[in-house]
Amino acid sequence: MSRVFMKGCEAIAEAAVRAGCRFFAGYPITPQNEIPEYFARRMPEVSGNFVQGESEVASVNMVYGAASAGVRSMTSSSSPGIALKSEGISYCASARIPMVYVNVSRGGPGVGSIQPAQMDYFQATKASGNGGFQMLVFAPASVQEAVDMTYQAFDYADRDRNPVLILADGVIGTMMEPVVLPEMKTDEEIASIKESKKSWSCIGHSLDLANRSWIQPGHWKTSDMQVANEEAAALYTSWEKEAQAEEYLIEDAEVVITAYGISARIAKAAVDLLRKEGIKVGLIRAITVQPFPYNAFDHIDYNKVKAILDVEMSIPAQFVTDVETGVKGRCPIETCLCSGGNIISREAVMEAIRKMVSK
Amino acid sequence: METNLCVAGFGGQGVMTLGKFLASATCDSTNKNVTFFPSYGAEQRGGTANCFVVISDETIGAPLGDVMDDLVIMNGPSLQKFLPTLKQGGTLFINSSIVTDEIERSDVKIVKAPVTELALELGNAKVLNVIMLGAYVGYTNVIDPEIVWSTIEHKLKNKPKLLPLNKLAFERGLLIGQSQR
């Protein structure tokens, strides 16, 4: 397959189309506008539907509706917009509706800034809405990874009947890179995916009041609600083995950097340069941030490692709390942070490491 | 080998387009890794706009480096902001029509191209970025000019009327770049 030069947002949208996504609703916000823009042009070509909703809340609920009808559906937004969508996402989680959404995150809190940031970590992994539901959350570090994760996200969503989140950032969303796009699913494949959801989805059953499909984001009877929550909790527990991390040069490392998304990619470049200086440094990159790859931190040789450096584009640090859980006090953890729309500097990471090893 | 380029100017000067043409041409014609990263404020025109292009034989870490190998400066404020990021021995490409400030560094190479004036001479102020792209490619030879031109041709395929003017602009830039090598 030949590579094409695409902007992250556009590549994400094309990957979704190729995965069989045939409904997208969204509302404009920087830096993810190229996702709805791309869908607006592309959906009519594949007989799909694009709607620019009147708001974030409207568009996420349109996705709730379309996905309830068995169609692979998606929405996207950026930080404050994702906050507004949290109601609909929670409803999808409660009703066990498969949908995919993308957060091309920017500075926060509040309206924050339109530049890239990683300030939505807790929101993405701990509380994406009310009610304590959980989702698989993928954190791409390149446009290619954003494409591959988006493509697979629809399979995961359907398998689990649960929302899946792609936690990107403004760098991944707005940068252009060569990518190899996945295969386009055929109309037959898309029809059979829809058919496979017939047991629960509202796809036009003949009039049969006893056996009609019924989608509801909650239960009137407390006993039913508890059963639903127990089933969901069992699903969340089953994900433990699906946690993914990249472990890079950690065997002999004196300092291990840990990060996710764009920060991890920049930190990895710092690792390569520091290795050339003779500094033994490695990297643990979380590829899934939910479930979190706690086990990766058991692969560190704590007899050799002096400390761990948490690198993230968030002040205060958020990702570090999961790192602490993984490290279990076996060595000190320091941070190298930036925020507000500033992008982590490779030089700053290198300087932090040099300081740590010279101590 | 990794080349970090920053292109900076006012919104509306075609700064992003310049970077995108170069990066696309690299993707289309080589096996190198390449990234294009735009940076701008909320304004469409008049605000500062800059973009970063990284071309590398290895995997690219940061799509925007701390230190630039080459710098293309289209306006005065960008010179103040980005000149300190240019490495020693790096090359500064400057729109000498409007950037008249003294360059306060003697450890960098300077390529002057009066692209605003030249674009007006050609009859369309908008082609200043294509002239500058020509100057950059002509001077650095980072990629075959033919390939860059075919990328421009492809990007403008829906606006064939604009091709002759852009061809002239690109060739004018190439000459400027080549003559200052």
DSSP sequence for B107-165: SSEEEEE-HHHHHHHHT-GGGHHHHHHHHHHHHH-SS-HHHHHHHHHHHTTT-GGGHHH
**For residue B20, which residues of chain A lie inside 8 Å, CB to CB?**
176
pLDDT in tens, A214-223: 888 999 999 9
What DSSP designation does A103 have?
Answer: E
So what's the pLDDT on residue A264? 98
CA end-to-end span of chain B: 21
**How near does any CA of chain A get to the CA of B64, in Å?**
9
**CATH number for the segment(s) B2-179:** 3.40.920.10
Q: Cβ separation of B61 and A265 shorter than 8 Å?
A: yes
Is it the case that residue A173 has pLDDT exceeding 80? yes
Q: How far is CA B104 from CA A26, A202, A288, B110, in A?
A: 49, 69, 47, 11
Q: Cβ separation of A171 and B20 shorter than 8 Å?
A: no
Q: Quick one: average pLDDT of A225-249?
A: 97
Q: Quick one: average pLDDT of A165-181?
A: 97
Q: Cβ separation of A175 and B60 shorter than 8 Å?
A: no
Q: Cβ separation of B64 and A272 shorter than 8 Å?
A: no
Q: How far is CA A289 from CA A189, A246, A312, B136, in A?
A: 30, 12, 13, 42
> What is the C-alpha to C-alpha distance for residues B72 and B135, in angstroms, rounded to an integer?
10
What's the pTM value of the predicted model, to 2 decimals? 0.95
Per-residue tens of pLDDT for chain B, all 181 residues: 899 999 999 988 999 999 999 999 999 999 999 999 998 776 666 778 999 999 999 999 999 888 999 999 999 999 999 999 999 999 999 999 999 988 989 999 999 999 999 999 999 999 999 999 999 999 999 899 999 999 999 999 999 999 999 999 999 999 999 999 9
**What domains are defined for chain A?**
4-241 (3.40.50.970), 245-358 (3.40.50.920)
**How near does any CA of chain A get to the CA of B122, in Å?**
31
So what's the pLDDT on residue A2? 87
Extended beta strands in chain A, E state: 4-7, 23-26, 49-52, 73-77, 100-107, 113-116, 136-138, 164-169, 176-179, 245-248, 255-260, 281-286, 288-290, 307-312, 333-337
Is it the case that residue A140 has pLDDT exceeding 80? yes
- Cβ proximity of A292 and A245 under 8 Å: no
Secondary structure (DSSP) of A106-169 = EE-STT-EEEE----HHHHHT-SSTT----EEE--SSHHHHHHHHHHHHHHHHHHTS-EEEEEE
> What is the C-alpha to C-alpha distance for residues B69 and B89, in angstroms, rounded to an integer?
8
What's the angle, vertex CA A83, arms to CA A80 and CA A84, rounded to 5? 95
